[in-house]
Chain A
């Protein structure tokens, strides 16, 4: 099993947010505090692993013509379960993410991975794909959160390390703009550019290695 390769794909070369540009809506909306980013990332990871496993296990049973309908039912089921469990056991997170938890149903990362990977690969590989893609999504969210929280609110770890987090910039300096959707687009754009640059460097190195051989 080339789990290492999958992890690299999830984090960099095929990162769901930064390379595939999937799930932009939630990425833009909730990455304002670290607490939100971590919570959303973990929720999506769990749902992605579960739905990938089930869809992969059923891939030979589900007829091609109704696959999308079947996937959506399975995904919606898991999302609703996570939503209910969060409401019951982590109400603070459920309050903070609000409507974005139910909206994971239409998050294209989950359906995208079901269609592109789980429906064609073994259960184990699909579970690994769910995990690595989920980790990639979480990593992208967390980086966005840290940047936007620092520049926009001047704090670090709001909600994770105490209610107000650690204040880094004095209250009058942070640029509110960064917390608004505009700031989301700007941060995301810069991060995508950075990922593309890293990916190109990696590809170049690979080519050099092959040339030496």
Chain B
């Protein structure tokens, strides 16, 4: 009987602590949820405006692996959101493709690449290399035209593959 009481005490203590923590977490989540959603949306919107400025973005259906969102930007072209695997995790990027099927801008929304190496993929001079491309791309080490950021080219390949995915997607629907 004494043993039973002890086990009950263990269980109840842990239950109460867990319940209180869960309650507090719920509260913080409730307080920050809207703000976080708003920030995420804003970030995506800024990226869309950056790669292909337009008034309206009309969402399209996507089922391709790696393509998370796609929009028809007025009659100007398409904006495709792609996620590929880099060195430190997923690289989330927005690719703008104009009506002629050429890349008109690439913007990196989030990444977790190595500082000073892969993280340089957000730099303007790296991203500018993709502008104007309309067919399959590759980094220079693989015989392509994109100058890689580092010798290991993991990040550069990931971004290049992402842009390729977007191009292929637009070719299919457009």
Chain B residues touching A, range: 20 to 34
Whether the Cβ atoms of A179 and B116 lie closer than 8 Å is yes
> A162 in the interface, Cβ–Cβ < 8 Å?
no
Complex CA distance for A88 and B117, rounded to whole angstroms: 28
Whether the Cβ atoms of A80 and B13 lie closer than 8 Å is no
Q: Which residue on A lies nearest to B24, using beta carbons?
A: A77
> A5 in the interface, Cβ–Cβ < 8 Å?
no
> B145 in the interface, Cβ–Cβ < 8 Å?
no
**B143-167 Cβ-contact flags toward A at 8 Å (1 or 0):** 0000000000000000000000000
Complex CA distance for A98 and B88, rounded to whole angstroms: 10
- Report the minimal beta-carbon distance from B174 to chain A, rounded to whole angstroms: 32
> A108 in the interface, Cβ–Cβ < 8 Å?
no
- Of the candidates B10, B28, B89, B112, the one whose C-beta lies within 8 Å of that of A85 is B28
Whether the Cβ atoms of B9 and A63 lie closer than 8 Å is yes
Number of A-B contacts (CB under 8 A): 71
Query: Which 9 pairs, one residue from A and one from B, show the smallest C-beta to C-beta distance?
Result: A77-B21, A32-B115, A88-B32, A88-B35, A179-B116, A98-B112, A84-B32, A81-B28, A153-B116
Chain B residues at the A interface, C-beta cutoff of 8 Å: 6, 9-10, 13-14, 17-18, 21-22, 24-25, 28-29, 32, 35-36, 39, 43, 88-89, 110, 112, 114-117
A-B CB contact pairs (8 Å), 25 listed = A33-B115, A58-B17, A61-B13, A63-B10, A66-B14, A70-B14, A70-B17, A73-B17, A73-B18, A74-B17, A74-B21, A77-B21, A77-B24, A84-B28, A84-B29, A84-B36, A85-B32, A88-B32, A88-B35, A88-B39, A98-B88, A152-B116, A176-B116, A179-B116, A180-B114
Chain A residues at the B interface, C-beta cutoff of 8 Å: 32-33, 36, 58, 61-63, 65-66, 69-70, 73-74, 76-77, 80-81, 84-85, 87-89, 91, 95, 98-99, 152-153, 174, 176, 179-180
12 further A-B contacts with Cβ under 8 Å, apart from A73-B14, A87-B32, are: A63-B9, A66-B13, A69-B14, A73-B17, A74-B17, A74-B21, A77-B25, A84-B36, A87-B39, A88-B35, A98-B112, A180-B114
